[in-house]
Structures are given as C-alpha cells and as structure tokens.
Structure 1
Amino acid sequence: MRTTSEIAEAFSLGMLVSDQADVTSVAISSLDVVPGSLFIAVQGEKSHGIDFLSAAIAAGASAVLSDREVRADVPVLLHPDPRSIAGAISAFVMGTMNLGLQIFGVTGTNGKTSTVFYLHQLLLQMGVKAGLSSSAFTQIDNRRADSALTTPEAPRLHRLLSEMADSGAQAAVVEVSAQALVRHRVDGLVFDVTGFTNLTRDHLDEFGSMENYLSAKAALFTQKFSRRSVINVEDRFGEQMLELARAQSPEQSVSIGHDKDYSFEQTPTGIKITGKQELFLARNPGPLMSKNLALAAIMLLEGGYGPKAIAAAALAMETVVPGRLDLVSDSEPHIYIDYAHTPQAVELAAKELGDKYPQLLVVLGASGDRDAGKRIEMGRAAAKFASHIVVTDQHPRGEDPASIRAALMNGILETRPESFISEIDDPALAVSTAVDLVGVGGAILWCGPGHLKYREVMGKKLPFDAHLEARKALNLD
C-alpha cells in the first residue's frame, strides 16, 4: 500500500487536490477498479478515461491520475503522460518487483503464443506452480480467462502477477507484443529470461518499416527489461536482434541456430537440442511447432532447470496449442484452425499440412484496418501449397470486406488461375464449402480465427466460434 503523497513525491506529480488517500492497487480501465485503486485516466482509441471517472469513483477508486485537470471527490494527481509511468507506479504500489516470481517473457512475430504455452506446460509438469499471460488466455491455478490484448495494460499485468504470487505461484510466463513495448505495458518489470521467436512482416501500418518493428521488439532484450535472453536466429532479422541483445548484455545473451550457442533438429522421435547443454525432447509436434518447443526448452535451460527434468516434463505436457494448427476433430476431412495472419505464418502452416496430405484446401481471410500491404503476400503464400483456396472474410473492421478479399486474390492470381479460387464472404459458409470441395484423404487449413470467439465488423465484436462452425460443417453438431 502507498499513499497519494508518497506516489506524488516518488514520481514528481502535481496534485490538484492535496488530501491524502491510501492506494492499494492501480487500474487504467474503470472496469478494473476495486476499492483503493488509483485510477489512471488517459486518452484511449475512442475516448478519454476522464469520461469514466464517475464510474471509477463509484467502484471505489481512492484517487485519480490524469493528464487533465478535473474536480473530483478524491485526490487528483497530474502528469503530462500518465501511461508512460503507469507500469512504474503499478510496481511501486503493488510491490511486483519483489514477488519472488521467476518471470519469462517471449516476443516475436509468429510463435509467441505457442512458446509461452509450452513454457507454462513444461513448468507445470516439472512441479513448478506457474501463471500464464498470453494472447489466447490468462491462467492462475486452474482459472482461465480470455485475453483482450496480447499483453495487458501495465496495471492489469502487474495485478495479474500479484494474484499469481498470492496463489502460491513460483513462476510467470508473459507473451510480449511490440505494441506492449512501445506503449509501456511491461514497464516496471524485469524478466529473468526472455526469448525471441522471429521477425516477419506484420504491423507495418503502425511501425512503418521492418527496421522500426525490429527496434520496438529489441527493447525487451535491454538491461531495463531482461536479465538473460535467448535469441532464435533463423535469418538476418534474427542476426540483427542477437547483435542488439549482445550490445546490451554480451555475457547474458545466447543464440539458437547453425553454429550458435544452441542448435536443434527435429527427428522422427523428437527434438534433439545440442550446444551449451544437451537435451532430447521425446515429442514431435510437427516442424512448425517444434522450433517453438525448442525455444521454450532452451529458455528453461538458461533459467536454471536441468535437462532431465525438462525431458521428463515434455513427455507429460500438452502440445496442442489452442488455435494453432488445432485439429478440430478426427472426423474426415481433417480441419485445422490456425491464427495465421502474416505471410510467413500462412506459408509455414500450409507447407506443413501440404506435405502431410495429398490435397490441401485453404480457407483464407485477412483483417481490416491492419497493414494492407501484407494481404497480397498472404495470398501468394497460400498459393504455394494449396490445391484450392476459399477466400473469405475474417475481421473487416471498418474496411470494405470486398477490397480485402480482392487483395488476397490478387496475390493468389499471380501464380494460379481463377478456377483455383472460390470467393465466399461468409466464413461459416466458406468452411462448409471447403468440406464439400476437398477430396478423399485431403485436409482443410482455416487461417485467421485461431482461438478467437468473435469477428470484428464495423466497430462491433460479433460472436463467432470457428471450432463450432467447423464441427457443423462436418455434421458433428
């Protein structure tokens, strides 16, 4: 617990109302306010937090921090950019720097969710009580909750960690996005071990260039956030990330790849890891997921866990990641639901299934209001390994969905004839049509929906369960 006077002094804040109040937690959304919260009111995408001040006070907020002067019945603290200090204040109030948790963090374009899922699974199977914060869900003990963001806002993340510690957790695993790093969502935390999966095209609408995108993610591997880092080096971006990490901590950054600190190979019976330490994981989740499992295992090696303990944990762990090459049912044709929404993710998922099945139909959609330039590349990627593609809608958001589908089809038509494509705007009908089109022994890869239970259309999140629709298409429900 802290007082408003202590917070104001520690962060050089102005005080519009000088009355002192006790603060026991921090919230940046009025929906997260509990009695004793410091409510941080900032500008959001559509509104300012001050608009919800009455609701926050009614919920028990004992003070407010904002960039705007406001009259209220609680102490008001002022700062020109409250979001930039939200993480540090959260750590100061909730004591999250001294929770005794070993914290793992993972960033990258593709594979983040799978890697943190595997880390969490391996820790649990080793008898380490651990919490998880991922884009799919957060988990404390056996309690899971759907996630609204890949990485929660700083006050919410700090509260999650505090709740994990209160539940007796010894470790926490956090998925870290580039947006989280530039928007201060992990401020106030120092990760014991961080990991990097890869960097491929995504979010260029926000970052402008791959160099800026890489720079945003590289912040995780600075001494500000990381005590030790594990960098997967599979291309020039991996090399650049390793160079940046080692410039910060030469002795605390290790690499994965050919002629690096560690290397791994997938064998028919599992994953063989060699280098600084040797480890064999007797699991084979497929080429795409094996590199994520290898990264998770090497992060644990670097975190002080023994090869024998990790190997034993791998035998008992769950390897199916929700919404990632997720097989809907054993019923044929096999339908796999995947979160693939970048060109590389589409290509790798399609390649893996294309190598496995004699015929692969891809159901492909893309998101509106996000990096329009990657859509044509997604179409090209799917065309490399599919025998037919059903182009459909995913999250059009505020855009004309027809224009999104057209961009995907332009990429496909660079190498394939029009007969190769079926255009069906309704995704439920699209997957049902794919079932009718696929041949004996074939499979369907549905790219886009992943773990999500909604679609975003014209500012609204409409309920949509891809697993349920796939089961309906197979006449299972």
Structure 2
Amino acid sequence: MDATAPPGPDAQTLRPTRPRPLRLDEVARLAGGELATGAAATEVTGISLDSRGLRPGDLWAALPGARTHGAAFAAAAERSGAAAVLTDPEGLRLLERAGTGLPAVVAAEPRRAVGALAAHVYDSQPADGTAPLLLAVTGTNGKTTTTYFANALLRALGHRTGLIGTIEILAGDEPVPSRLTTPEAPHVHALLAVMRERGITAASMEVSSHALEFSRVDGVRYDVAGFTNLTQDHLDLHGSMEEYFAVKARLFTPARTRRAVVVVQDEDDHWGLRMAEHARAELGAEHVDVLALRGGLPADDDAGPARRGADWTLGALDRRGIGHAFELRHRDGRLVRAATGLPGDFNVANAALAVLMVLAGGADPERLQRALDELDPLTTDVPGRMQLIGTGPTAVVDFAHNPDALRRALTAVEPPDGRGRVIVVFGATGERDRSKRPVMGEVAARHADVVIVTDDDPHDEEPAGIREEVAAGARAAAGARAAEVLVLAPRAVAIRAAVAMAGPEDSVLVAGRGHETVQEILGVDHPLDDRDELRAALADAQQGRWEDR
C-alpha cells in the first residue's frame, strides 16, 4: 500500500496469537539481501508495510510508494516499536539520512520478499494438515460472486468458512470491511493463520491482477484456483490484454496452486482456451478441470493432454424464476445437478465454477449433490452483485464497471417478452483505464433503451470530462437501441431520474459501484450507497403513485 494512504479498517487488525520469531540473518536470507546494520540475532515477530500499523517487535517493510518512499516515515516506525527494517538501497539512504537506530536488511526487491517472510513469521500454511482448505478465484468478472457461492456450498457441507475479498473479510463470525480486493501479503498470511486458530476449515479468496502484480499473495499456495473470464479492464496498469493475461496466468503454476478449474465460454473464447492450455501444461492435465459453458471444445489429441477438450460441459439450462437450474456433465459420465436463484447466465457460470472448485477440493460427490438438492446454497445473497432492490419496476444494483460486465448485467435485466424498457445508470472511474469509457457508453446504448451517464468515483479527475467521454461513446453507437442518452449529476439525482421515468414493466439497472458506500470526488469522500438511493427513490415514487390515486 502507498505509505501516504489513509489506514483502512482492515489494516493489520487481525493477527495470530502465536507468531514464530524470525532472526534478521534469516530475514536477509529469505529476502535475498544482506544485513546492512544491526545484530543478526535480532528477532522479529510480525510484519507491516504501513508505519501506522506497526506493533512492537515488527519488521517494517519500508517500500517505494506511488508518491513517497516508505523509509521517509522511519521516525514514526521507530516510535511504534519496530524491531527492524526491510528496504531497498534508496530506503537505506533515507534511513541513514534520518539517523534512526533501527537494524536494516537491504534487498533489491523487498516487496517480493514480504510474502515468504510473512508466511514464515505467521506460520500461515503449516505442513501438518491444520491449514484450512483454500480456494482462489481470479478473472475479470465474477470473482466476488463465485467466492460467495463457494463459501455457501462449503458451509452446506459442514465447513466453518472464511472469506477474503472485495466486500469483506471473514475470519469467523465477525466481518471486517475490505479496502482492497486482495489485502497486502502480511495481512493475507496473518488472516490465514487467524483462520486456523479460530477453527476455520475452508476459505475462499479473490485474487486480483493487482494482487499478483504487486506480490500480495506471494508465499500462499492454494488447494484450488479458479478462472472466470478475461475481458478488458485494468489496462492502465497492464498496458495490453496480453500482459493482463500473463499476470493472471501466474496463479496457475505449481508454486501457487495444487489444482485448477478453468471456465471457457466456447470454442471462440481465446483467453479461456489459452488459460486452460497454460494451466494443463503447468499443473498437469490430471490436475485441471476445464468447463465449457456452450458446447464441447474440440480436442486435439495430437497436441497432447494440454489440449484434450473440455472435462465438464454445462447443459440442461432451465429458467426458474429469475434464476436457472443446470447440469454439469463430465466426459466420463458423472453428473452434477444444481440451481441458482441469482439472475443472469453469468451467474450460472459463477455457480458452476464454484461447484467444480469445491468438488476439486475433495468434496464427496454424493454429499455435495445432497447439499445442492436440499439446501439451495447457490442462491446466497451477494451484496451489490445483481442485487434485487425492488419490483415493478425491476430495480437492480450491480458492480459492473467494465464493458463485458455491463453488457452481461443489461442482458440479465431484460424484461420478459419485451414488454418493458431497460434504463441504465452508470459512469466510469476516474484515473483508471480511459480506453474503456467510450466502449462502456457504446455497450449501454446497444443494450438499454435509456442511458443515463453519471459519476462513478472520479477520484482526482474532473468529473464532467469523464461523463462526456462515456456519453460520447453512447451517442456514437451506430444503430443503437437507446432512444435517449442523458448526462446527469450528482449520482443520486441520476438514480431518482431513472426511477421517475420507469414504468412497472421496466427494468432499472444502477451499475458500477455495487456494495460501495463512499464516493470519492476531487479528494473528498461523500457517503453514497446505490442500494439506499435506489430504495429511497422507489419508495418516493410509490408514495407518489398512491397520492395520485
């Protein structure tokens, strides 16, 4: 994390009660560096990347930040009781200039050493079999929902579960709000150790491309890793889809996971097919399950097991209310029947992935089928993910914040039999991938009847300019479905306008922020929860209808 960032409510709040002290000479060895100052026998009992989250006895990782080098906060770290510092050569120069008496280990890439050090100090995944079953989900869209589905199914099978993700962190019954999709490495390892101490037997975790790029999950080995999909997002960080794919692919290696489940949309899904081939080559085809969502995948027997086609196929898809029932069939004839009450074909994909990950994690097939039949675990609520707020009009809040997710969400809220309109309220995040802004506008114009462009999180970027880039894409969409493209701010006004124009047969989708409760505009945090705003707008509209009678 940036050393200048405000401390979040989850910053180093949970730690195991019995850490394993680590000598500084061992720190230097594991970090691939050297002990620059201090005694080799000095011991550390914790790790922190933030000088404000330090506890006495901690190793403080003073890393270069986006604006300031962490070593600039050496005096605060020393006052907090840091036992030693891990830094790079530039950090050492800053420490020497500040004149601190802290022992220092210097490494060329200290961030890449933090995960292994935290794994040792917190004993996060001991080899004695006491570590929880650990599932990881990566991909552009669907990570959060898939982890919630997996946890619900694991609970139905009798596990006590933990969760690390975008919305919250669960290490027992007490939720901790989450500030990052994947926390920093010291926090991840501390959480895994706390889960073990609290008797948690299985946990699910979102793994973002940022987590892989910035070493937040280094030192963690998963039992099963799942891949949802890859579509345009985060190109401000990765630069290209090829680089984005390469970062995601790091998860599917023997150092990071024992088994994998990869979703492939169909035989034209370039990135899904690539990930399936990569995972099979890295892990061995016998340790990888490939799920084809639409039709079978052609096998190339001459190319070896890495391209042997799909292991599982999705079939017997049947609409039930706003959700679906479906079947998963293995090439050897095995069959799993399941259902989810959440809308959208993408939630069928998320549910299917969760089922196969739990199965790959060692669940007994007969027990799993009974749990699916009797307990309906795949209809669990996921905050801000296709969350139904009202009916008549159908009103939904979703986290869709990239083109593919927005298209899927709009398709999911399509009124039956074309009897109503689709009205969408959305924006684009500031200081992020600008190339997707007009694309999102075009997607909205092609899949909605009324497009209302508003603010998402502008951050420090001028909001009006972001809105115009999105709206320009909507207006330029040739042959678009949308009869109106409106630009309205603030966001609460845009939501009320959408509800005011909606009839009982229409659908209103408020997209982009999902579960988030704070909107950052030009450096100021404003309380804003799309779910609350939509509920209030629906209530006021209903009251108005009663008064009109």
> Normalized against structure 2, the TM-score is what?
0.83
Q: Residue 184 of structure 2 aligns with which residue? A: 153
Determine whether 1:256 maps to 2:306. Answer: no
Write the deviation string for residues 263-318 of structure 1: whole angstroms up to 9, x where unpaired.
12332352211115321114342322111011000011111102333334342435
Q: Residue 328 of structure 1 aligns with which residue? A: 389
Secondary structure, aligned partner of 1:445: strand
Residues 334, 25 of structure 1: alpha-carbon distance in 2 compared, 3 angstrom cutoff: same
Q: Which of 401, 409, 423 is equivalent to 1:349?
A: 409
Matches within 5 A, 1:206-285: 206-234=237-265, 235-250=269-284, 251-257=286-292, 258-259=295-296, 260-265=310-315, 266-268=317-319, 270-275=325-330, 277-285=334-342
How far is 1:397 from its partner? 1.7
Secondary structure, aligned partner of 1:349: helix
Matches within 5 A, 1:134-145: 134-145=165-176
Residues 308, 282 of structure 1: alpha-carbon distance in 2 compared, 3 angstrom cutoff: farther
How far is 1:35 from its partner? 2.8
How far is 1:442 from its partner? 1.4
Q: Which moved more, 1:45-54 or 1:250-259?
A: 45-54
Residues 127, 417 of structure 1: alpha-carbon distance in 2 compared, 3 angstrom cutoff: closer
Q: Residue 158 of structure 2 aligns with which residue? A: 127
Identity within the alignment, %: 35
Q: Which of 384, 401, 421 is equivalent to 1:359?
A: 421
Q: Which of 64, 68, 72 is equivalent to 2:85?
A: 64
Assess if the C-alpha contact under 8 Å between 1:221 and 1:248 holds in 2: yes
Determine whether 1:82 maps to 2:133. Answer: no
How far is 1:355 from its partner? 4.2
Determine whether 1:437 maps to 2:501. Answer: yes
The one-letter code of the counterpart of 1:253 is: V
Determine whether 1:37 maps to 2:58. Answer: yes
Secondary structure, aligned partner of 1:96: coil
How far is 1:452 from its partner? 0.9
Matches within 5 A, 1:415-434: 415-416=479-480, 420-434=484-498
Q: Residue 73 of structure 2 aligns with which residue? A: 52
Q: Residue 303 of structure 2 aligns with which residue? A: none
How far is 1:153 from its partner? 0.9
Write the deviation string for residues 314-354 of structure 1: whole angstroms up to 9, x where unpaired.
42435221111111245x43321111011110001001101
Determine whether 1:380 maps to 2:435. Answer: no
Larger radius of gyration: 2
Assess if the C-alpha contact under 8 Å between 1:195 and 1:299 holds in 2: yes
How far is 1:464 from its partner? 1.6
The one-letter code of the counterpart of 2:107 is: H
Q: Residue 288 of structure 1 aligns with which residue? A: 346
Secondary structure, aligned partner of 2:447: coil
Write the deviation string for residues 139-161 of structure 1: whole angstroms up to 9, x where unpaired.
11111111111111111111111
Q: Residue 186 of structure 1 aligns with which residue? A: 217
Q: How far apart in 2 are the matches of 1:460 and 1:42?
A: 26
The one-letter code of the counterpart of 2:336 is: L
The one-letter code of the counterpart of 2:533 is: E
Q: Which moved more, 1:38-47 or 1:25-34?
A: 25-34
Alignment RMSD: 2.0
The one-letter code of the counterpart of 1:455 is: Q
Residues 296, 61 of structure 1: alpha-carbon distance in 2 compared, 3 angstrom cutoff: same
Secondary structure, aligned partner of 1:340: coil
How far is 1:203 from its partner? 1.1
Assess if the C-alpha contact under 8 Å between 2:450 and 2:482 holds in 1: no
Matches within 5 A, 1:397-476: 397-413=459-475, 414=477, 415-416=479-480, 420-475=484-539
Residues 309, 355 of structure 1: alpha-carbon distance in 2 compared, 3 angstrom cutoff: farther
Write the deviation string for residues 404-448 of structure 1: whole angstroms up to 9, x where unpaired.
212222222223498511210210000001111112221210011
Q: How far apart in 2 are the matches of 1:363 and 1:142?
A: 34
Write the deviation string for residues 44-91 of structure 1: whole angstroms up to 9, x where unpaired.
222222233333333332221111111434322211221111111111
Q: How far apart in 2 are the matches of 1:162 and 1:177?
A: 21
The one-letter code of the counterpart of 2:363 is: Y
Residues 163, 32 of structure 1: alpha-carbon distance in 2 compared, 3 angstrom cutoff: farther
Assess if the C-alpha contact under 8 Å between 1:363 and 1:447 holds in 2: yes
Q: Which of 224, 227, 233 is equivalent to 1:196?
A: 227
Q: How far apart in 1 are the matches of 2:107 and 2:205?
A: 28
The one-letter code of the counterpart of 2:387 is: D
The one-letter code of the counterpart of 1:274 is: R
Gaps of 5+ in 1: none
Secondary structure, aligned partner of 2:337: strand
Assess if the C-alpha contact under 8 Å between 2:167 and 2:177 holds in 1: yes
Determine whether 1:302 maps to 2:371. Answer: no
The one-letter code of the counterpart of 1:300 is: V
Secondary structure, aligned partner of 2:313: strand
Q: How far apart in 2 are the matches of 1:172 and 1:57?
A: 35
Gaps of 5+ in 2: 1-19, 297-309, 544-549
Q: Which moved more, 1:60-69 or 1:431-440?
A: 60-69
How far is 1:101 from its partner? 2.1
Residues 75, 237 of structure 1: alpha-carbon distance in 2 compared, 3 angstrom cutoff: same
